[in-house]
Amino acid sequence: MAEYQNTPVSAGEMAQRFIEFVMMQAQNAAFMLGQIPHPQTGKAEVNLDMAKLLIDQLVMVQEKTKGNLTTDESRILANALANLQIAFVETSQKQRSGGQVTPERPAVSEPGIPAAGTGAPPEGEGKRKFVKSYGS
């Protein structure tokens, strides 16, 4: 049986683990939003309740860690949440209208690289605020 050894972890390694955790949760939410096809069927499946739960968990992590994150950790968490919240609203609107849910862009990107279509807002548009309701 393998033993777990509690060895000291460097700050850099801890930051990397946090970022990996955030990206894993974001990837799971993107999967629930149908943005990542099911590995066995190859089809996108949508589960808005589970996606909302995963997004809410990331919001909770953001609130509980406020003031304790590095700039990179905070930026990656905020970007992941913003991308997922936009994707949630778009997916729920498409489901309500009875349309086919086919994502136009992935909600999750590599750390430090914005997902496609989520760069700087077009000229004249300011930052958009999101509300917790996600359009539900």
As a whole number of Å, the CA-based R_g of the chain is: 17
**Residue 43 located in a structural domain:** yes
Q: Which residues, 6+ apart, have CB-to-CB distance to 1 below 8 Å?
A: none
Q: Which two tokens stand for residue 24?
A: 């894993």
**Residue 1 located in a structural domain:** no
* Tokens 């946090």 -> residue: 18
Residue 68's Cα: distance from chain center in Å?
Answer: 20
- pLDDT tens string 77-118: 999 999 999 999 999 999 888 765 554 445 555 444 444 444
Q: Which two tokens stand for residue 56?
A: 């809410």
**Residue 24 located in a structural domain:** yes
CATH (domain of 39): 1.20.58
Backbone φ and ψ for 33, nearest 5 degrees, come out as -90, 5
**Residue 55 located in a structural domain:** yes
- pLDDT tens string 34-84: 999 988 999 999 999 999 999 999 999 999 999 999 999 999 999 999 999
**Residue 76 located in a structural domain:** yes
Q: Domain containing 75: what range?
A: 12-96
Number of domains in the chain: 1
**Residue 28 located in a structural domain:** yes
* Helix H or strand E segment including 78: helix 71-96
**Residue 4 located in a structural domain:** no
**Residue 66 located in a structural domain:** yes
